[in-house]
Amino acid sequence: MTFEWIQVPYALATLFIILNYGLLMTAVVRKLAARVGGRPGIPVWQNYIDLVKNFALRSKINHGVMYYLGPVFRLSGGIGLILFVPTIYGSSWAQNFSFAGDLVLALYFIFFGTLGMALGAGESGHPHSAIGVSRGLAQVTTAELPMALAVYSLAIQYQTLSITEIVAAQQGGLFNWTLFTNPLAVVAAMFAFVGTMMRSPFDVVLAPQEIPIGPPTEYHSAYLALMQTNRAIFPIAKTIIYMNLFFGGAANWAEFAIKVFLLYMIPAVIGVVHPRFRVEQSIRFFLKWGLPVGILAILTV
């Protein structure tokens, strides 16, 4: 695929849509969770106000270069993921910078933010951050393991590492989705999905009752605003990958919105009604359930 300048504004437009979608949708999900508890919860536009508020704070404390770069890396992880993942299949402009090996790059970007965060949070000097980071790295590594295996399985199945091609292969009906063609890989990948969305039972990284609130403990003001922006973009971007790889992608924005929402709701539904695992319990969980399924997916493909 050749590079064209027009892709830049197209990609930015996609980014913009996804940012807003993310801000609104995370609020809606929070409202749904709140309703289970019996309350209305935050207004849907609350995320915007919080974002503005954090940018509007007057004072900032900097703990060093990496501290500053942490949120930047994190955000670039999210944005990078978006930029290299085709959002709408067949759309002329929402293709972003997808290319033949974009799946590998996407996997890299998923991890990139976490690493950046680790560096930044580590420099903030707060022990809770440090503990959170070490927990995060340990857990995300094991949680991504089934994902990596599932992707491997997929690569074998579809004989490509291009997301667009994988999506294309799933077109033409519900039963062409990877969900049905390679269910074991999907199960393995969903382990990873649930495990990395920072919701119970796999949210020991943030665990407010233990290490409030983990890595971002020291982050505030604009730094926090950057992370909030990322928090709106990154999960959506990640969900898009899963959608593209396993659930047939989206051919238009409506399908996109519905599929992402439903996918996003999976960890939310689990999270609301479960306490969290300890870090070694969740690692054990992924090694015990996720890893074998992933291996099985490769073997049975």
Q: Are 87 and 94 in contact (CB under 8 A)?
A: yes
Nearer Cβ to another protein (13/284) = 284
Backbone angles phi, psi at 91, to 5 degrees: -70, 145
Candidate segments 8-16, 17-25, 43-51, 103-111, binder of another protein by CB under 8 A: 43-51
Site string for another protein, 131-160 (x = CB under 8 A): x-----------------------------
Q: How far apart are CA 199 and CA 219, in angstroms?
A: 20
Q: How far apart are CA 198 and CA 148, in angstroms?
A: 18
Could you tell me if residue 134 is left (phi over 0), alpha (psi between -120 and 50 degrees) or otherwise beta? alpha
- Residue 40 CB partners (closer than 8 Å, separation 6+): 31, 34
- To another protein, the closest distance from the beta carbon of 140 in angstroms equals 16
Q: Cα 25 vs. chain centroid, distance in angstroms? A: 14
46 touching another protein, by CB under 8 A:
yes
Cα–Cα separations (whole angstroms), residue 146 to 39, 141, 196, 254: 36, 10, 11, 30
Nearer Cβ to another protein (120/201) = 201
Q: Are 276 and 194 in contact (CB under 8 A)?
A: no
Candidate segments 36-44, 96-104, 111-119, 233-241, binder of another protein by CB under 8 A: 36-44
Interaction residues for another protein, span 71-100 (CB under 8 A): none
For residue 198, give the nearest of 176, 173, 216 by alpha carbon.
Answer: 216
- To another protein, the closest distance from the beta carbon of 283 in angstroms equals 8
Beta strands in 226-284 (DSSP E): none
Locus of tokens 């609104």:
24
- To another protein, the closest distance from the beta carbon of 114 in angstroms equals 19
Q: Cα 186 vs. chain centroid, distance in angstroms? A: 16
36 touching another protein, by CB under 8 A:
yes
Interaction residues for another protein, span 179-208 (CB under 8 A): 200-201, 203-204, 207-208
42 touching another protein, by CB under 8 A:
yes
262 touching another protein, by CB under 8 A:
no
Candidate segments 75-83, 112-120, 181-189, 274-282, binder of another protein by CB under 8 A: 274-282
- Residue 57 CB partners (closer than 8 Å, separation 6+): 220, 221, 222
50 touching another protein, by CB under 8 A:
yes
Candidate segments 31-39, 76-84, 88-96, 293-301, binder of another protein by CB under 8 A: 31-39
260 touching another protein, by CB under 8 A:
no
Q: Are 118 and 129 in contact (CB under 8 A)?
A: no
Judged by CB under 8 A, the residue of 1, 9, 53, 252 near another protein is 53
Binding site for another protein (CB under 8 A): 32, 34-43, 46, 49-50, 52-53, 56-61, 127-128, 131, 200-201, 203-204, 207-213, 216-221, 224, 269, 272-281, 284, 287-288
